[in-house]
Amino acid sequence: MSDVRDQLRSEAEALDAKDELAAKRAEFVLDETVYLDGNSLGALPANVPGRLAEVMTHEWGKLRIRSWDESGWWTAPERIGDRIAPLVGAAPGQIVVGDSTSVNVFKALVAAVRIARDPGNPSEGRDEIVVDATTFPTDGYIAESATRLTGCRLIPVAPGDVPGVLGDRTAAVLLNHADYRTGRLHDLPGLTAAVHAAGALVVWDLCHTAGALPVGLDEHGVDLAVGCTYKYLNGGPGSPAYLYVREALQPRFDSPLPGWNSHAEPFGMRPEFEAADGALRGRVGTPDILSMLALEASLDAWDGVSVDAVRAKSLALTDFFLRCVGAYVPTGRVESLTPAAHAERGSQVALRCEGAGDVMKRLVEQGVVGDFRAPDVLRFGFTPLYVSFGDAERAARVLASTLA
Amino acid sequence: MSDVRDQLRSEAEALDAKDELAAKRAEFVLDETVYLDGNSLGALPANVPGRLAEVMTHEWGKLRIRSWDESGWWTAPERIGDRIAPLVGAAPGQIVVGDSTSVNVFKALVAAVRIARDPGNPSEGRDEIVVDATTFPTDGYIAESATRLTGCRLIPVAPGDVPGVLGDRTAAVLLNHADYRTGRLHDLPGLTAAVHAAGALVVWDLCHTAGALPVGLDEHGVDLAVGCTYKYLNGGPGSPAYLYVREALQPRFDSPLPGWNSHAEPFGMRPEFEAADGALRGRVGTPDILSMLALEASLDAWDGVSVDAVRAKSLALTDFFLRCVGAYVPTGRVESLTPAAHAERGSQVALRCEGAGDVMKRLVEQGVVGDFRAPDVLRFGFTPLYVSFGDAERAARVLASTLA
């Protein structure tokens, strides 16, 4: 065993030495903990506290109301959207930041149904919303609400079964890019094409993939997408989510939450609603500036980073972690739920394990932080910007000793 | 003229000397500016930057994911709601903080229609939403969306005309407690009683009154209410809004935005939605922690403050300002749109003035900050926690010299 350990530790050192993203780790506040929960809450980027102190003391404290113009507060949702855009393969002008993921799912899904039912479309009678039955639950709850409010019927199916249920009645399909439990990556290009072939619109939830792998929204013709910013994007606890509306659809994007921030002339204070042009239609109320500007600062960590390099390191990290687990953990104690095939893997490893809740508590006590998902799953997220191969080896080692 | 000035200045000094809230001013970051725009963005409470630095560096930076439990992040929406509760006359357990005002108007209005149409009610056929036609526009836009999604008809009328349009078809009524332009305070007890007499539900928007005067939500039997926290509550730019759901209605509160945070067992990750008990039903997605905890810190300024004392000072300030304007400003140059009667006045003074846009620019250049509302209104907000009678006198004096 000690031979294997020596070998894997040397290998981790070698991989870290040639890691082109290694220097990024210094841009985050980290300690001796092995932090493998960035798929739930990204670590603190070191520049954020200083930037937010400036926002509070100068922009709010001194300029006060003038900051809406002078400090660029008013345009933050679209400006920050444009910084997220390249990370998910979108050209500028298609993403606005604000609200929670759940609220954005609602906007996207109701708007998708309305576009699908556009009287100008031959598809007016469409009345089904298909939803990924394995998705993070909030998407399903919101889809059910959207269904109820638009007079549709909800069809929950596993992502693999989606093509089989699509048809003339499908208005919109809501899918999660990666399964939050298993880390399985779904086939975004293939499923998008299948939805389009049926004449329907697709909404993708990118919470578990944005910042971890190339998404290619524009390239694959995705209609609408949403995502949070507090996982691989490290925007901070509950930082604002975002909404992508494909440029070609923007003129027909008819929001169920037409707040004054989405008005063509917000300060005209006109009683009649007239939607703004472009992605601004996805805005609602006054943007949450402190959280929004913390997110903006956190995105500095992406300067000079290629998403392809991130993906390459992510796969190398999860491969290496799985090898270490295989080498260290006694046979039969854990079972990987995460697909071995790269094309089907996100940036986390999920291990089924008896007594997973207690096991995770003991790991955390020993400085290896992942999380537990009921009833029996250990989740380990690998954020390529700050997780090292040494971290992966140590996590597997501590897991093995905990299970021994 | 100089006699009048000397007299009003002395009076201001005397009023400030006996102001029981005067010491509160030191709890805010202020400078030589006369800041009369707290009805748009409250000034920075001095304790907020320090508290938020701690949240960032310790809670996010060191504890990271553990802070959801250990730092009380998860329960922040209801905990902070309970701190706002006494300021609006609500017992604990009825307010949750989160999302924007617009989003909360949507939740409240759709939920109100659903309660009004409860099959157990004799009022099943109700299909009208009455909305304050003079309200801040976003409320009207959202009411129109709620109308469309629930199959209702929208009836926009001036608040005074509301009683005349209520009837068997009224499901819900959305009213603003104070007119954002004129500062006119509407009759919350009387209008609430009229709506109830018609068998309908009322939703009050408290953006322009919470923190400036007693609201009495419980006392007057208000059904649902929403409000922002960045005006008289000083929570910061775009800080999260809140939703009040009267305790008796909570079991029937059926949210159109049932995110995972409103689930009875959020971490059960169950595909079926089951609403939590109580005001938690008004939560949606992951709460925006940085903004939320800045708001929480800002509420420390209310410790030991009676809302009645705030109201008394607010009326004294606006009375005094109007007197100074009357004494200093040449006759005919401005006209007050704000009611003289105390019962009809909020905490702002609105003056109609030719060239108001330019006039406000020049006031701001001279250190008197109010704001301009198209086409011809100068707005001056009086936040009793930090505005002095000396500020009011100086603002009127600078206005007079600007118009001379």
For residue range B279-336, list pLDDT tens digits in order.
999 999 999 999 999 999 999 999 999 999 999 999 999 999 999 999 999 999 999 9
Mean pLDDT throughout B271-278? 94
Q: What is the pLDDT of residue B335?
A: 97
**Quick check: A286 and B101 CB within 8 A?**
yes
- pLDDT of A123 reads 56
Instruction: Tell me the pLDDT band of B31, cut-offs 50, 70 and 90.
Output: very high
Cβ contact (<8 Å) for A73 and B371? no
| pLDDT value for B134 | 87
Would you say A363 and A292 are in contact if contact means Cβ atoms under 8 Å apart? no
Q: Spell out the CATH class of B51-302.
A: alpha beta
All CATH 3.90.1150.10 domain ranges of chain B, comma separated, are 2-30+304-403
Structure tokens at A390: 């040494």
Q: Would you call A177 an interface residue with chain B, using a CB distance cutoff of 8 Å?
A: no
Query: Tell me, what's the pLDDT at B175?
Result: 97
- What integer pLDDT is reported at residue A135 of this predicted model? 83
pLDDT attached to residue A125: 84
Weakly modelled stretches of chain A, pLDDT under 70: 1, 119-124
Specify the pTM.
Answer: 0.97
- Predicted confidence at residue A246, as pLDDT, reads 98
Distance (Å, whole) CA B204 – CA A350: 47
Say yes or no: B32 contacts chain A, CB-CB below 8 A.
no
Question: Which residue from B137, B241, B259 is facing A260, i.e. has the nearest CB?
Answer: B137
Give the lowest-confidence range in A346-355, B110-119, B334-343: B110-119
Over residues B365-376, the pLDDT tens digits come to 999 999 999 899
Identify all chain A residues contacting B110, using CB atoms and an 8 Å cutoff. Answer: 149
Nearest to A374 among B255, B259, B269 (CB): B269
Q: Do B374 and A267 touch (CB under 8 A)?
A: yes
What would the mean pLDDT of B121-132 be, rounded to a whole number?
A: 82
Smallest CA–CA distance, residue B355 to chain A, in Å, is 16
Using the predicted structure, report yes or no on whether residue B3 has a pLDDT greater than 80. yes
Q: Using CA atoms, how far apart are residues B389 and A256, in angstroms rounded to an integer?
A: 45
Q: Looking at residue A120, what is its pLDDT? A: 67
SS3 content of chain A, % helix, strand, coil (to 5): 45, 15, 40
CA distance B296 to A64: 19
**How many CB contacts within 8 angstroms connect chain A with chain B?**
249
Q: Work out the number of other CB atoms within 10 angstroms of the CB of residue B22.
A: 15
Residue whose C-alpha is closest to residue B81's, from B70, B92, B95: B95
Residue-averaged pLDDT of chain B: 96
Q: Residue holding tokens 């907000």?
A: B381
Say which of B56, B238, B286 has its CB closest to residue A289.
Answer: B238
A62 CB-near residues (< 8 Å, 6+ apart): B29, B31
Tokens found for residue B118: 């409860």
In this predicted structure, what is the pLDDT of residue B380?
Answer: 98
Q: What is the pLDDT of residue B355?
A: 96
Q: What is the pLDDT of residue A178?
A: 96
Specify the pLDDT at position A384: 98
Q: Running DSSP on this structure, what letter comes out for residue A33?
A: S
- B2-30+304-403: CATH, from 3.90.1150.10, 2.60.40.10, 3.30.70.100, 3.40.50.620: 3.90.1150.10
Whether the pLDDT of residue B30 is over 60: the answer is yes
What pLDDT sits at residue B125?
A: 84
In single-letter form, the type of residue at position B42 comes to: G
Q: How many angstroms separate the CA atoms of B401 and B404, rounded?
A: 5
Q: Which of residues 201-240 of A touch B (CB under 8 A)?
A: 228, 230, 236-240
Chain region(s) in chain A for CATH 3.90.1150.10: 2-30+305-403
Give the model's pLDDT for residue B277: 96
Q: Which amino acid is at A256?
A: P
Q: Give the pLDDT confidence score for residue B121 in this predicted structure.
A: 61
Q: What is the pLDDT of residue A247?
A: 98
Q: Distance between CA atoms of A306 and B219, rounded to whole angstroms?
A: 59
Question: What whole-number distance in Å separates Cα of residue B207 and Cα of residue B210?
Answer: 6
- Contact check, Cβ <8 Å, B138/A31: no
Nearest CA in chain B to A152: B149
B 89-118 near A (Cβ less than 8 A): 99-103, 106, 110
* pLDDT (0 to 100) of residue B118: 81
Q: Where in chain A is the domain with CATH 3.40.640.10?
A: 51-302
Domain A2-30+305-403: give its CATH code: 3.90.1150.10
Task: Decide if B231 is catalytic.
Answer: yes
Residues 144 to 163 of A: which have CB under 8 A from any B CB?
144-145, 149-150, 156
CA distances, A269 to each of B107, B364, B375 (Å) = 22, 22, 10
Is the model's pLDDT at B82 over the cut of 60? Answer: yes
Residue type, A333: R
DSSP B143-175: HHHHHHHHT-EEEEE-GGGHHHH-STTEEEEEE
Enumerate the residues of chain A whose CB falls inside 8 A of the CB of residue B257.
Answer: 102-103, 106, 142, 145
CA distance A54 to A297: 11
Three-state SS sequence of A274-328: CECCHHHHHCCCCCCHHHHHHHHHHHHHHCCCCHHHHHHHHHHHHHHHHHHHHHH
- Category of A66 on φ-ψ map: left (φ > 0), alpha (ψ -120 to 50) or beta: alpha
Q: What is the ipTM of this complex?
A: 0.96
Work out the pLDDT band at B239, boundaries 50, 70, 90.
very high
| Angle at alpha carbon of residue B224, lines to B220 and B226, rounded to 5° | 110
Q: Which residues contact B76 (CB under 8 A, 6 or more apart)?
A: B97, B287, B289, B292, B293, B296
Q: How far apart are CA B39 and CA B41, in angstroms?
A: 6
Q: Is the peptide bond before A375 cis (omega within 30 degrees of 0)?
A: yes
